[in-house]
Amino acid sequence: MKCGIYTCIIGMEYVLHIAILVGIYLILATGLNLIAGYAGLLSIAHAAFFGIGAYTAALMALNLHSPMVVNLACAVVLAGVTGAVVGGPSLRIRDDYFVVATFAFQVIVFNVLNNWVSFTGGPMGLPGIPQPSLFGWTISSHTAFLLLVGCCCVAVLWICQRIVHSPFGRVLKAIREDEVLAQCAGKNVAAYKVLVFMIGAAMAAVAGVLYAHYISFIDPTSFTVMESIFILSIVIIGGAGSPWGPVIGAVVLVTLPELLRFVGLPSAVAANVRQILYGAALVACMMWRPQGLLGQYTFQKGGSRQ
Amino acid sequence: MSQVLVNGIVASCTIALVALGFGLLYRIIRFFDFSYGIIYTLAAYTTFGLAHYLKAPLGLALVLGVAFASVLACSLELFIYRPLRGRNASASVMLLASLGVYIVLQNMISLCFGNDTKVLRSGSVNVGIGFCGARITEVQVALICATAILFIVLLALLNMTKIGKAMRAVAVDSDLAAISGVPVNGTILCTFVLASVLAGICAVLVSMDTDLTPLMGMRMFMYAAVAAIAGGIESPGGIAIGALLLGMAQHFGIWVIGSQWQDAIAFLILIGCLIIRPKRFVCRG
């Protein structure tokens, strides 16, 4: 009897844990949806901004003992500025070269996190990140953390909605559909692209801060190219260019692989099977449903060959 | 110092082989085919599997490994890229599909062979031949010779044969080539085979010289992309020069600041190239 209650509590903790992860990926995917889905810029650097956010929060919490709100603000600003520095030059180049440029940035960030041992802890990572406290209230339980992540999700989704339905969002979609036309209409295309790239990067940093404080241990392996591709898959499979696409994508792609656990695969195998599944889903999506489950954008400029 | 030079040349040759294949493929299919990276890994692992588990002689294993990788590249083209092209899919769609293919195949290799480092070498570690105060192994000599030979063969093929002419025609304008009676799909298939052979030979030689990991292909693919973009993706000569620059920069970089920054050096060069010479990559179509 007692044993049953114990399993039930563990089970509850597990469900909450998955829900928190879904929330974090939802924030990441919403940020990338603005960049890739609305502005049509394929970026595989999202995990780099996620990592910048997480490491900023972790280093500040460990070295300066600053509260979470301050960490969050600093991480958002830092990721936004990095986004501008990276986006500025690389957004001038053509689509497929932009993918490679973001890839390059991703690898460089991973290299810095992995090799600058004295500052980032290198491959050993940063252990012992304290639990966050908001207005004197320490968030220690899973339930409280889920509440925090939930609030952040709602805020991010709300900001995304506001952006999409604003004139700014309409210009983004115009750039996505026909860049030359948007330019002819007198829009400063480059400035819009950099701005949306900054906003997306800042959202990734929010997710990074939450992740660092939640897991309380970070190492560079959480911020690899594969992670970037995973986030991109969430956006594409869920549906790029639709506000609810990343939500569905995050729920499906984060929870479904957890089912593999119940099939009884060893964890080393499960990690590979999970990646095979989402890789195959990505290919299948491109083959038969490029707009994803709910999306509106098929990564096809102006409906014809450019 | 001379050792650094030798290492740089060997690295340049490996990058050049893959980059030549990558450049050839890119000119024809016009998207960054990430699955090219896994073709490289697959050739190495097939050879390893045949030589290690089935005890096949190394030469036979090499031929079969390269052949298997080429067949796989062809089936990817037939079952994924050709239908997508038929639907006028954009470069982004093709790129995402190839990324998916890469993930699937890389994890299958991880499942079959494990994530740890594998060694194809038989017997003890070879110290190599002394050469102007540097050491170079037989495999590295073979690699340099193979690069030189394949480079000349490739140039001859592109400039002197009918299929080479067809490839160049498709690269310039595939619609016009089709109208003029060039079998476009067949030419593309040939390009996949040619590029896979280049990558496969390079992969097997590299894995004989050093070792194999499931991630080797992605890394080499990105180096190849960097070399091709730095040197000018349209010309084989430019790609060779780009590979030489990248290999040298990496090895002198390792010598000065340490091997862990090898990737960062490569990608800083890439970003530098993209920023400094953007006129070839700008958005106007």
Model confidence pLDDT, tens digit, residues B50-64: 998 888 888 899 999
B100:A269 CB<8 A: no
Band (pLDDT 50/70/90 cuts) for residue A304 is very low
Which pair of structure tokens corresponds to residue B172? Answer: 């310039």
Q: What ipTM does the predicted assembly reach?
A: 0.88
- Which chain B residue has its CA at the smallest distance from A289's CA? B93
Minimal Cα–Cα distance from A299 to chain B, Å? 6
Measured over all CA atoms, what is the biggest interatomic distance in chain B, rounded to whole angstroms? 58
Question: How many other C-beta atoms lie within 10 A of the C-beta of residue A3?
Answer: 7
Mean pLDDT of A89-93: 74
- The Cα-based distances of B253 to B206, B266, B269 in angstroms read 21, 10, 12
Rounded Cα distance between A239 and A295, Å, is: 3
Q: Which of residues 34-93 of B touch A (CB under 8 A)?
A: 80, 83-84, 88-93
Domains of chain B: 2-280 (1.10.3470)
A61: left (phi over 0), alpha (psi -120 to 50) or beta: alpha
A298:B110 CB<8 A: no
pLDDT given for residue B194 in this prediction? 95
pLDDT given for residue B46 in this prediction? 94
Using the Cβ of B279 and the Cβ atoms of chain A, whether some distance falls under 8 Å is answered with no
pLDDT above 70 covers a percentage of chain B that reads: 94
- Which chain B residue has its CA at the smallest distance from A41's CA? B92
B107:A276 CB<8 A: yes
Secondary structure in 3-state letters for A73-94: HHHHHHHHHHHHHHHHHHCCEC
pLDDT given for residue A303 in this prediction? 44
Mean pLDDT of A199-222: 94
Rounded Cα distance between B91 and B61, Å, is: 35
Mean pLDDT of A218-232: 92
Band (pLDDT 50/70/90 cuts) for residue A305 is very low
Of B83, B99, B225, the CB nearest to A282: B99
Those residues with Cβ within 8 angstroms of residue A139's Cβ, 6 or more apart along the chain or in another chain? A131, A132, A133, A145, A148
Rounded Cα distance between B242 and B38, Å, is: 22
- Which chain A residue has its CA at the smallest distance from B279's CA? A93
Minimal Cα–Cα distance from A64 to chain B, Å? 29
B95:A99 CB<8 A: yes
Torsion over CA of B191, B195, B197 and B198, rounded to 10 degrees? 140
Asked whether the predicted pLDDT for residue B254 surpasses 80, the reply is yes
Q: Which of residues 191-250 of B touch A (CB under 8 A)?
A: 218, 222, 225-226, 229
Asked whether the predicted pLDDT for residue B281 surpasses 60, the reply is no
Rounded Cα distance between A107 and A228, Å, is: 11
pLDDT given for residue A249 in this prediction? 93
| Average pLDDT over chain A, rounded to an integer | 88
Query: Is there a contact between B106 and B214 (Cβ–Cβ < 8 Å)?
Result: yes
Those residues with Cβ within 8 angstroms of residue A32's Cβ, 6 or more apart along the chain or in another chain? A43, A46, A200, A204, A231, A232, A234, A235, A246
DSSP B42-73: HHHHHHHHHHHTS---HHHHHHHHHHHHHHHH
Of B90, B260, B284, the CB nearest to A299: B90
Q: Which residue has the higher pLDDT, B275 or A197?
A: A197
Question: How many other C-beta atoms lie within 10 A of the C-beta of residue A238?
Answer: 27
Model confidence pLDDT, tens digit, residues B215-253: 899 989 999 999 998 888 888 888 999 999 999 998 988
Minimal Cα–Cα distance from A273 to chain B, Å? 7
Q: Which of B235, B214, B58, B182 is nearest to A268 (CA)?
A: B214
| Average pLDDT over chain B, rounded to an integer | 88
Mean pLDDT of A149-163: 95
Asked whether the predicted pLDDT for residue B130 surpasses 80, the reply is no
Rounded to a whole number of angstroms, the distance between the first and last alpha carbons of chain B is 46
pLDDT given for residue A3 in this prediction? 55
Of A100, A281, A299, the CB nearest to B92: A299
- Which chain B residue has its CA at the smallest distance from A175's CA? B283
Query: Is there a contact between B27 and B190 (Cβ–Cβ < 8 Å)?
Result: no
How many helices and strands, by DSSP H and E, does chain B display? Answer: 12, 2
A279:B102 CB<8 A: yes
How many helices and strands, by DSSP H and E, does chain A display? Answer: 12, 2
Instruction: Collect all residues of chain A within an 8 Å Cβ-Cβ radius of residue B264.
Output: 107-108, 111-112, 115
A225:B285 CB<8 A: no
Asked whether the predicted pLDDT for residue B121 surpasses 60, the reply is yes
Query: Is there a contact between A175 and A139 (Cβ–Cβ < 8 Å)?
Result: no
Using the Cβ of B263 and the Cβ atoms of chain A, whether some distance falls under 8 Å is answered with yes
Mean pLDDT of A209-229: 92
Instruction: Collect all residues of chain B within an 8 Å Cβ-Cβ radius of residue A236.
Output: 96
Question: How many other C-beta atoms lie within 10 A of the C-beta of residue B135?
Answer: 15
Q: How remote is the C-alpha of B32 from its chain's centroid?
A: 12
Model confidence pLDDT, tens digit, residues B191-209: 999 999 999 999 999 998 8
> Residue A93's beta-bridge partner residues?
B282
Band (pLDDT 50/70/90 cuts) for residue B284 is very low
Which amino acid is present at A166? S
A99:B32 CB<8 A: yes
Which pair of structure tokens corresponds to residue B58? Answer: 């190394």
Instruction: Collect all residues of chain A within an 8 Å Cβ-Cβ radius of residue B285.
Output: 306
Model confidence pLDDT, tens digit, residues A17-73: 999 999 999 999 999 999 999 988 899 999 999 999 999 999 999 998 888 889 999
Rounded to a whole number of angstroms, the distance between the first and last alpha carbons of chain A is 66
The values of phi and psi at residue A126, to 5°, are: -120, 105
- The Cα-based distances of A22 to A48, A145, A256, A292, B8 in angstroms read 19, 13, 11, 18, 46
pLDDT given for residue A1 in this prediction? 45
Rounded Cα distance between B156 and B198, Å, is: 15
Using the Cβ of B97 and the Cβ atoms of chain A, whether some distance falls under 8 Å is answered with yes
B101:A283 CB<8 A: yes
Which amino acid is present at B257? I
A94:B89 CB<8 A: no
Minimal Cα–Cα distance from B30 to chain A, Å? 9
Altogether, the residues listed in chain B come to a count of 285
pLDDT given for residue B280 in this prediction? 54
Rounded Cα distance between B192 and A24, Å, is: 40
HSE-up of B164 (CA within 13 Å, CB side)? 10
